[in-house]
Amino acid sequence: MLFFSAPEALKEIFTSEILEFWTGAIYLIAIPLSLVLVARKQLRNIAVEKRQPEKAEPSLGKISCRAFMRQTIALYASAVIFILYSLAFLAPFIAPFSPYDQQDFLVTAYQPPFARLNALVLKQPKTLIIPLQTGNGRTVQLANSLISDFQKLKTRNEPNSVRFVNEYRIDGENVIYRQGIRTKTIAMNELAGSGKKGAEAVSNQQPDFVVTRTFVFGTDQYGRDILSRVIYGSKISLSIGFLVVLISVTLGTIIGVSSGYFGGWIDAVMMRIVDILIAFPALFLILIIIATFGNSIYLIVITLSFTGWMGVARIVRSQVLSLKEQEFILAAKSLGLSHMRIIFRHLAPNTLTPVIIAATLRIGSIILTEAGLSFLGLGVQPPTPSWGNIINEGRDSLLNYWWISTFPGIAILTTVVCFNLIGDGVRDALDPRMRG
């Protein structure tokens, strides 16, 4: 109701930036709460085992979890993946700059890692001021709250606008500064602060209207901060990898269970479809779909999802063919249980082991595929940052400005290797022969 009754200025607030901000806030609340709940459950289980050791028989899930906890390398890889996903969710809070801000690129372009630049702090903010709504009522209060949050989000990294300079000097009531080959003059009263050297500024020998900003990973040809773009790019790449695997594994499991359980013509038709799709080059199919319908993020997710479920379907089908002839399935049929109950209550849970292993191993390959499409210009389109298109932006200047492509490349390498290590650890933990 608020969305349709609000003015046009309020509707413009519902952007991806404010949604990312809310997502990060929810993540900050959900993660500590989840850790507390898990810790309480573990303490309760330990207390039960101490009181009644003879009844404390661990389930298969607990046995597998304990086996995974003994995989040291997989645990370290899981910690790295958790940090990467945390960076993706908390990008609006921890990114030092906006990933889209081409800020004074005459000064900031092609700055090496750990470059420090001076900037003049202006009184006039860069962002457009949206006036608060007048009136009473809950709708107006919510609208003003959203507008205030939006303004804080847009100016979260710089309380006032800044102007990066190569050098500056004070000339009476004016400040003369240089940006590249241009020399400009600005009045002192247009700058934030009094121009005096405060306690902190005295040690740096600079007035209080001058700040120093550090670009940890350097900048690109437009003066955009590489660290901020890599952090925001992790959100795109990791989200696409997770969503694609979730959809493809779900679809492959449903088709594999149905094909293996019902058999007959259903099995024959589904497996012939799987054979055709596997025989067709997946990359060509992806390129055809993107060339025909465009290359939005949602289309990329759908395309990668529907070209990656065939292997899971075959794995699940082979598991179901061996399970459906066992005693517990025959007993369920003799009791008159419905097909859906047998499939989702008895067959599907017993096929999760190979599905989980396939899912953890596939996320890395999906991230590589998405990065390759973005590198070729067929995936996520600039200026939206993705690890693949950041590498593409720096490929022509790799020898002179190596940091543009190197840091997103390291991020892709680290993510894929960690997911593969997690997949190996999960496989060893779920394999009874490897538990020891």
User: How far apart (Å, rounded) are the C-alpha atoms in residues 78 and 400?
Assistant: 35
Asked whether 191 and 122 are in contact (CB, 8 A), the reply is yes
User: How far apart (Å, rounded) are the C-alpha atoms in residues 237 and 412?
Assistant: 9
pLDDT in tens, 156-182: 555 457 888 888 888 888 888 888 888
C-alpha distance across the termini of the chain, in Å? 59
Q: Is pLDDT of 143 > 80? A: no
The pLDDT value given to residue 201: 42
pLDDT in tens, 364-377: 889 998 888 888 88
Q: Look at residues 201, 202, 168, 228 and name the one whose alpha carbon lies nearest to residue 384.
A: 228
Q: Look at residues 153, 161, 160 and name the one whose alpha carbon lies nearest to residue 17.
A: 153
User: How far apart (Å, rounded) are the C-alpha atoms in residues 35 and 41?
Assistant: 10
Please give the domain boundaries of the chain with CATH numbers for all domains: 105-215 (no CATH), 226-434 (1.10.3720.10)
Long-range contacts of 149-156 (CB under 8 A, 24+ apart): 149/18, 149/21, 150/13, 150/18, 151/127, 153/17, 153/18, 153/21, 153/92, 154/17, 154/127, 155/125, 155/127, 156/92, 156/93
pLDDT in tens, 195-211: 555 444 444 467 778 88
Least confident of 48-57, 219-228, 403-412: 48-57
Between helix 72-89 and helix 226-262 the angle, nearest 10°, is 120
- Predicted model pTM: 0.81
pLDDT, greater one: 155 or 80: 80
User: How far apart (Å, rounded) are the C-alpha atoms in residues 406 and 416?
Assistant: 15
In sequence order, the 6+-apart residues with CB closer than 8 A to the CB of 110 are: 218, 219, 220, 221, 397, 401
The pLDDT value given to residue 258: 87
